[in-house]
């Protein structure tokens, strides 16, 4: 299908990123919510659109997102309208209710994604993965780790920070202060909420944390078994798992994405199962377009790759 071209009104990467997030509205049938229990006695909230299909798309959201975000709902609506069942899952602590265990979610928590896929697999002949940003990294890492559910046939991911450390450095740049501030504020609020329900989370140093890297160093890494933030980034960056992916996979990273470092645009070897597309525009989880019955280019591209390629 044609490469993405940004509408003339979206004249820079920040507008391409912000406007879809703030102003897009999706008319979508209500989700059916299912709560599943995890092996460590926690829970995950899954939001379904079901119509008795034998094909399922599982959609993974970005940092501090959830199944209600417009980019998730837009993708869900397009696949559902074309005969697929859809599962938009919420990470731990992202569904509107704080999870029970000390752990949250993070960029490499593929155990939860695997649990979701395996729980859903009994009723389908084929499963497809779609991921955005952190959810894209999660999907790629799952595919590259091996032990992939045999029903998973293809994957499409957008705006993926393939290398977590250098992408964190990118978001720390002054031009990205609005995103950085928003993410950090949201994560701090989540830690405070968690500390209010548990006694094993020390937030006494929270006010001294000024960057996402410091947050990951103080909370994300130790809570989830990593030595520090750098260890977490190194072990969870999907860039280092791409060579092991064995199913057809498409990565779409816009060249003007304000969140992504140069490491997020790798040259892939001939014969790789992974295909990389780098349109000049799109911003971060943007890809807005007009005149397509409300559909965004990302939704058309994902469907085209999964249903036709």
Give the CATH number, domain containing residue 175.
Answer: 3.40.50.1820
Does residue 302 register a pLDDT over 70?
Answer: yes
What value does the mean pLDDT of the chain take? 97
Q: How confident is the model at residue 299 (pLDDT cuts 50, 70, 90)?
A: very high
Of 257, 261, 281, 298, the active-site residue reads 257
pLDDT given at position 67: 98
The C-alpha atoms of residue 240 and residue 165 are separated, in whole angstroms, by 13
Of 61, 78, 218, 284, the active-site residue reads 284
Does 7 fall in a domain?
no
Does residue 186 register a pLDDT over 70?
Answer: yes
Q: pLDDT, tens digit, for every residue of 21-74?
A: 999 999 999 999 999 999 999 999 999 999 999 999 999 999 999 999 999 999
Q: How confident is the model at residue 11 (pLDDT cuts 50, 70, 90)?
A: confident
C-alpha separations of 29 from 49, 51, 253 in Å: 8, 12, 29
What's the distance, CA 194 to chain centroid?
22
How would you classify the pairing of strands 43-49 and 85-90?
antiparallel
Q: pLDDT, tens digit, for every residue of 81-140?
A: 999 999 999 999 999 999 999 999 999 999 999 999 999 999 999 999 999 999 999 999
Q: Is 49 exposed, middle or buried (0-12, 13-18, 19+ CB in 10 A)?
A: buried
Does 5 fall in a domain?
no
How many residues can be counted in the chain? 309
Q: How confident is the model at residue 304 (pLDDT cuts 50, 70, 90)?
A: very high
Q: Summarize the confidence of residues 180-206 as an average pLDDT.
A: 96
| Sign of the C-alpha dihedral computed for residues 122, 123, 126 and 131 taken in this order | negative
The C-alpha atoms of residue 43 and residue 62 are separated, in whole angstroms, by 19
Task: Work out the percent of the chain whose per-residue pLDDT is above 90.
Answer: 96
Q: What single DSSP character describes residue 139?
A: H
Does 4 fall in a domain?
no
Does 88 fall in a domain?
yes
pLDDT given at position 203: 96
Of 67, 133, 261, 298, the active-site residue reads 133
Count of domains for the chain: 1
Does 237 fall in a domain?
yes
Retrieve residue 25's tokens.
């509205």
The answer to whether 284 is a known catalytic residue is yes
Does 34 fall in a domain?
yes
pLDDT given at position 272: 96
The answer to whether 261 is a known catalytic residue is no
Does residue 309 register a pLDDT over 70?
Answer: no
Q: pLDDT, tens digit, for every residue of 231-286?
A: 999 999 999 999 999 999 999 999 999 999 999 999 999 999 999 999 999 999 99
pLDDT given at position 20: 93
Place of tokens 């078994």: 225
The answer to whether 231 is a known catalytic residue is no
Q: How confident is the model at residue 292 (pLDDT cuts 50, 70, 90)?
A: confident
pLDDT given at position 54: 97
Does 297 fall in a domain?
yes
pTM above 0.95, yes or no: yes
Task: Print the domain residue range for 20.
Answer: 13-307
Does 154 fall in a domain?
yes
């Amino acid at each position: 299908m044609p490469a993405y071209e940004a509408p003339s009104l979206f004249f820079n990467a920040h507008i391409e990123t912000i406007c879809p997030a703030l102003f897009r509205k999706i008319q979508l049938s209500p989700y059916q919510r299912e709560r599943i229990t995890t092996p460590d006695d926690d829970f995950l909230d899954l939001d379904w659109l079901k119509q008795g299909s034998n094909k399922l798309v599982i959609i993974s959201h970005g940092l501090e997102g959830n199944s209600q975000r417009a980019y998730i709902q837009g993708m869900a609506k397009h696949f559902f309208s074309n005969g697929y069942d859809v599962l938009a899952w919420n990470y731990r602590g992202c569904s509107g209710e704080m999870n029970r265990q000390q752990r949250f979610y993070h960029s490499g928590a593929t155990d939860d994604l695997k649990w979701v896929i395996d729980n859903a697999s009994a009723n389908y002949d084929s499963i497809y993965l779609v991921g955005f940003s952190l959810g894209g990294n999660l999907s790629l890492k799952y595919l590259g780790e091996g032990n992939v559910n045999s029903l998973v046939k293809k994957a499409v991911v957008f705006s993926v920070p393939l290398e977590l450390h250098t992408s964190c450095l990118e978001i720390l740049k002054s031009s990205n202060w609005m995103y950085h501030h928003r993410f950090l504020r949201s994560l701090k609020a989540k830690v405070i909420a968690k500390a209010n329900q548990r006694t094993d989370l020390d937030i006494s140093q929270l006010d001294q944390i000024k960057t996402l890297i410091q947050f990951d160093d103080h909370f994300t890494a130790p809570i989830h078994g990593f030595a520090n933030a750098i260890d977490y980034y190194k072990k969870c960056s999907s860039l280092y798992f791409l060579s092991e992916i064995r199913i057809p996979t498409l990565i779409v990273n816009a060249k003007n994405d304000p969140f992504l470092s140069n490491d997020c645009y790798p040259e892939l070897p001939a014969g790789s199962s992974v295909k990389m597309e780098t349109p000049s525009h799109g911003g971060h989880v943007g890809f807005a377009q007009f005149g397509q019955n409300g559909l965004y280019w990302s939704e058309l591209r994902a469907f085209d790759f999964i249903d036709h390629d």
